[in-house]
Amino acid sequence: MIKYFPQTNTFHLYNEQISYVLTVLKNGHLGHLYFGEKVSEHVQPEWFRYALFRPLTACVYEDDPFFSLEHERLEYPNFGTTDFREPAFRIRQENGSAVSDFKYITHRIVEGKPMPKGLPASYVSKSSEAQTLEIDMIDSVADLKLTLYYTIFSDLAVVTRRVEIVNEGQQIQTIEKAMSMSVDLSPGTYERVHLWGAWSRERHLERTPLSKGVQSIGSTRGCSSPDHNPFIAIAEPSATEHSGAVYGFSLIYSGNFIASTQVNYDNVPRVMMGIHPNGFEWVLGAGERFQTPEAVMTYSSMGLNGMSQAFHKLVKNHLTRGEWVKNPRPILLNNWEATYFDFTEDKIVELATEAKRLGVELFVLDDGWFGKRNDDTSSLGDWFVNLDKLPNGIKGLSKRVSELGIRFGLWFEPEMINKVSQLYEKHPEWLIGDPSRHLSNGRNQYVLDFTRKEVVDHIFKSMCQVIDNTEISYIKWDMNRHITEAYSTALPANQQGELYHRYILGVYDLYDRLIERYPHILFESCASGGGRFDLGMFYYAPQAWTSDDTDAIERLKIQYGSSMLYPLSAMGSHVSAVPNHQVNRATSLKTRAEVAYFGTFGYELDVTKMSDEDKLEMQSQIEFFKEHRNLIHHGEFSRLTGPFDGDSNRTAWMVVNAQKTEALLGLYKVMAEPNTGVKSFKLRGLDPNRMYDVTGYDTPVSGRVLMNYGILDIPSFTGAHLIEDRPVGDYQSHVIKIKAVD
Ligand code: DGJ
């Protein structure tokens, strides 16, 4: 998978799908040559370069007017040496200079994938699944070493990258910026696709031309945030969902990030991803080492959908860990929208009893069970049960629930503290904030200083005291406030720039400890819904609450956008009550379930208040999901059309199993339309040579027809009789089963 050509000092990373080629330039820096569709093994570096004499160019050598880094495509560009674009890193030395000149020293090609410590990263189960290239670069003036890690997977169109910086000298160095990856793609015209949003409206897709100069998205909120997801795709303008060249980039990280592009006058796009440099500095003492988070790069010649499928495989097979990779994800009932803070033990048991009767497998008790918490003004940090509400404690309640034959899960918000809490009375210094300044408010709560080990120790201990000797099999880990006044009383003045990154390392540390102690617990991450929905979190928590917005129509956009890189098995999706609590919209129980099926699936409503008719429908929805969840969570997902495409009224997506014998198609029409033209959707991923039974159609049809002619849309009102199971009206959906005829 990785070949080194000593004559040209060139490295070729390839598998059956992609090639990534880099070379050592004349001055020892690393040049990028090619990333894309697989090319023949032996590449000639000169073919990919365009060294020309140009006025106003700063050249590396006096006697070579052709060699300037400005006109090279680079791999991890230095600051201050003839390349005037954004550098990948900046390291301030003791004399104040940030100029650096890292030169290639040596490299190693290793089987498998070495893992960083304390950070999430993609992994391999067998060393044959990947190869890793480690390149050492030295700046001899600053006595610094960079090691660039490149991993290529044997059967995935993915290259991952990360960087380690080691201070091999005696000076104190200050890292001002350290991207996880930087690549100068082939010159051309491109578009940028990214996911932006806000609370309740996460991961909406935007596609715009990639313009000259610098464009960036990112977060400086202390978490990856709902504003922008750590993801960008760079697509050729002609690329569609299913065809054309698309590069996808993401970061396995949950803190502040930046994803930037810079297109120069040569039409070369430089793409970089890493920790956001705003508010970041890292002091590197003698002998110390800094490691960046890992970045993921994909290439697809099959459009955005091909890119998404590579990301999905990576998340499912190389990021999610533990028994929940394979175990069926439980169908859950969460009490949040059913009761909010207003519940008693009997009410919870009543909900769980009815949920069990209807087929639900896991009951989740959300916020409000601890301290004196009856609203959002108090008790975060006091992780001991409110015995007024739950007289038998979590132990007693979880026992009562488990005895019903349904599992029990519990909500925590480990990173937070209310001022009205015993914890704050004891440890006011544990808040993040500058004591000499006013501290801003967010949901009446404050962020605990997870840069302090003693804080993480304390929260770990308090959580263990709740979890030990109970029947807890699931934890929802919430996070509802961003970091302001970023300052830690525990860090020295020159290390305050380390706070954001140290904070997220503390979060990862707590996750690691809990997972190690409770390997069977299923974690679902949450941050006011999908506010920390990133590859970093999926290393710890196999699923995440996609959004606080449970409205089926809003969810079409949110789940469609999320599917750009996150698989269905990662997306928490619940059926909630109508009128919906976020947008006051009423959709049918059928439509709500048919959107939620394409996720982890569960309910978030008061099941005791449902009509008998709705309960019967819920029962059959649960049976349906149990029958198909293996297909949904392990199959290959494809988007057919969606809310951000030309026709925003329609969404269609499908999932096909590995054998191509079973598929589920979800069709959704937001607003009813009278007498529209005939529309059909061409299906994906089926076997062209097989015949399939399709729900609603009397005769089997071939995969070739389904993929080339397609299947008809939900009908519009034409004045004729309505087909009974496809009524016309707003917010329609239809899930169609497709099964190979033996
Ligand atoms: C925000 C979450 O997204 C909700 O699902 C719920 O858990 C609340 N927090 C509880 O405070």
219 has pLDDT over 60: yes
722 confidence band (pLDDT: 50, 70, 90): low
- What is the structure's pLDDT at 646? 84
51 confidence band (pLDDT: 50, 70, 90): confident
Question: Of 292, 289, 89, 286, nearest to 176 (Cα)?
Answer: 89
- What is the structure's pLDDT at 716? 77
Segment 288-317 mean pLDDT: 98
d(CA 297, CA 231): 10
706 confidence band (pLDDT: 50, 70, 90): very high
Residue with tokens 């996460």, as numbered in its chain:
202
Determine the residue of 367, 375, 376, 581 to mutate for testing ligand 1's pocket, defined as the one with the most ligand atoms within 8 A of the Cβ atom: 367
Tell me which residue has its CA closest to atom 2 in ligand 1: 528
Tell me which residue has its CA closest to atom 1 in ligand 1: 528
726 confidence band (pLDDT: 50, 70, 90): low
**Would you give the DSSP letter of residue 291?**
E
Find out whether the beta carbon of 366 lies less than 6 Å from any atom of ligand 1: yes
54 confidence band (pLDDT: 50, 70, 90): confident
724 has pLDDT over 80: no
The answer to whether 691 and 513 are in contact (CB under 8 A) is no
97 confidence band (pLDDT: 50, 70, 90): very high
545 Cα nearest atom in ligand 1: 3
pLDDT, averaged across the chain: 96
- 201 Cα–ligand 1 center, Å: 15
The answer to whether 722 and 688 are in contact (CB under 8 A) is no
Find out whether the beta carbon of 480 lies less than 6 Å from any atom of ligand 1: yes
Determine the residue of 333, 336, 545 to mutate for testing ligand 1's pocket, defined as the one with the most ligand atoms within 8 A of the Cβ atom: 336
- 478 Cα–ligand 1 center, Å: 7
Residues 646-675: tens digit of each pLDDT? 889 999 999 999 999 999 999 999 999 888
CB proximity list for 634: less than 8 A, separation 6 or greater: 316, 569, 657, 658
- 259 Cα–ligand 1 center, Å: 28
The answer to whether 66 and 72 are in contact (CB under 8 A) is no
Find out whether the beta carbon of 367 lies less than 6 Å from any atom of ligand 1: yes
- What is the structure's pLDDT at 721? 56
- Proportion of the chain above pLDDT 70, given as a percent: 99
- 197 Cα–ligand 1 center, Å: 18
Residues 135-168: tens digit of each pLDDT? 999 999 999 999 999 999 999 999 999 999 999 9
Residues 482-507: tens digit of each pLDDT? 999 999 999 999 999 999 999 999 99
Tell me which residue has its CA closest to atom 11 in ligand 1: 367
- What is the structure's pLDDT at 50? 85
- 546 Cα–ligand 1 center, Å: 11
d(CA 443, CA 449): 17
Find out whether the beta carbon of 657 lies less than 6 Å from any atom of ligand 1: no
Q: Which helix (H) or strand (E) holds 266?
A: none
Which pair of tokens denotes residue 172? Answer: 């104190």
Tell me which residue has its CA closest to atom 9 in ligand 1: 528
- What is the structure's pLDDT at 718? 72
Neighbours of 70 (CB within 10 A): 20
Segment 681-710 mean pLDDT: 97
Question: Of 276, 386, 315, nearest to 571 (Cα)?
Answer: 315
Segment 253-268 mean pLDDT: 97
47 has pLDDT over 60: yes
**Would you give the DSSP letter of residue 28?**
S
Residue with tokens 């500095």, as numbered in its chain:
281
Find out whether the beta carbon of 382 lies less than 6 Å from any atom of ligand 1: no
- What is the structure's pLDDT at 723? 54
Find out whether the beta carbon of 528 lies less than 6 Å from any atom of ligand 1: yes
The answer to whether 150 and 188 are in contact (CB under 8 A) is no
Q: What is the sign of the dihedral through the CA atoms of 362, 366, 371 and 374?
A: negative
CB proximity list for 510: less than 8 A, separation 6 or greater: 414, 450, 456, 459, 460
Crossing angle of the two packed helices 612-634 and 589-596, in degrees rounded to 10: 20
- What is the structure's pLDDT at 125? 97
Determine the residue of 526, 533, 576 to mutate for testing ligand 1's pocket, defined as the one with the most ligand atoms within 8 A of the Cβ atom: 526
The answer to whether 367 and 341 are in contact (CB under 8 A) is yes
Residue with tokens 């949003």, as numbered in its chain:
197
| 44-48, 517-521, 707-711, 723-727: segment of lowest average pLDDT | 723-727
Find out whether the beta carbon of 478 lies less than 6 Å from any atom of ligand 1: yes
719 has pLDDT over 80: no
Segment 528-548 mean pLDDT: 98
- What is the structure's pLDDT at 137? 98
Per-residue 3-state assignment (H helix, E strand, C coil) for 453-485: HHHHHHHHHHHHHHHCCCCEEEEEECCCCCCCC
- Proportion of the chain above pLDDT 90, given as a percent: 95
410 confidence band (pLDDT: 50, 70, 90): very high
The answer to whether 637 and 655 are in contact (CB under 8 A) is yes
- 47 Cα–ligand 1 center, Å: 55
Pairing of strands 191-196, 204-209: antiparallel
Segment 712-738 mean pLDDT: 78
Q: What is the DSSP string of 311-362?
A: HHHHHHHHT--GGGGTSPPPPEEESHHHHTT---HHHHHHHHHHHHHHT--E
d(CA 487, CA 435): 9
- What is the structure's pLDDT at 629? 98
Find out whether the beta carbon of 337 lies less than 6 Å from any atom of ligand 1: no
- What is the structure's pLDDT at 715? 79
d(CA 125, CA 123): 7
Neighbours of 79 (CB within 10 A): 20
Find out whether the beta carbon of 548 lies less than 6 Å from any atom of ligand 1: yes
- 412 Cα–ligand 1 center, Å: 10
CB proximity list for 492: less than 8 A, separation 6 or greater: none
56 has pLDDT over 60: yes
Q: What is the DSSP string of 432-443?
A: SS-TTS----BT
The answer to whether 432 and 499 are in contact (CB under 8 A) is yes
The answer to whether 733 and 594 are in contact (CB under 8 A) is yes
376 Cα nearest atom in ligand 1: 11
Find out whether the beta carbon of 336 lies less than 6 Å from any atom of ligand 1: yes
550 has pLDDT over 60: yes
- 529 Cα–ligand 1 center, Å: 7
